[in-house]
Copies of this chain bind each other. A is one copy, B any other.
């Protein structure tokens, strides 16, 4: 297990906040948002952070030097359920940068009430799926270790 970030419950600890609204399609028969929907929320927030930082993921991925940020590890702690049509603030930061991986930490809250925290670990991979050099701009995004 490489994941080491400790996602804070304090929203002000995060670099960027992405707002999204839960979908009815994401609910389940328990009447809450299915736990399997959260990885997409995390990804949407990562993509928004990259765009906000001037590195849209579509650009990062394209061209001969393009890389994908493959997900190597995923951890989610579900604290309180999310429900249909709630507006979720996904707070996000980049940390734990090594030569081959970086980590992203997340706090999901609704009107300031924590619902989940999460960490993903990523590696850069080239077009053929082989590990690739980490783009230099990532160092500028890192805030936490």
Contact = CB atoms under 8 A, between A and B. Distances in A.
Contact of A78 (B51, B57, B58, B71): B71
B35 A29 contact: no
A25 B36 contact: yes
Nearest to A34: B25
A24 B35 contact: no
Interface string A68-108: 10111111111001001100000000000000000000000
Identical copies in the complex = 4
Given A35-B71, A74-B75, A78-B73, A23 B43 contact: yes
A1 interface: yes
A58 B73 contact: no
A77 B1 contact: yes
Contacts of A27: 28-29, 34
Interface string A52-74: 00001110000000001011111
A74 B35 contact: yes
B56 A85 contact: yes
A39 interface: yes
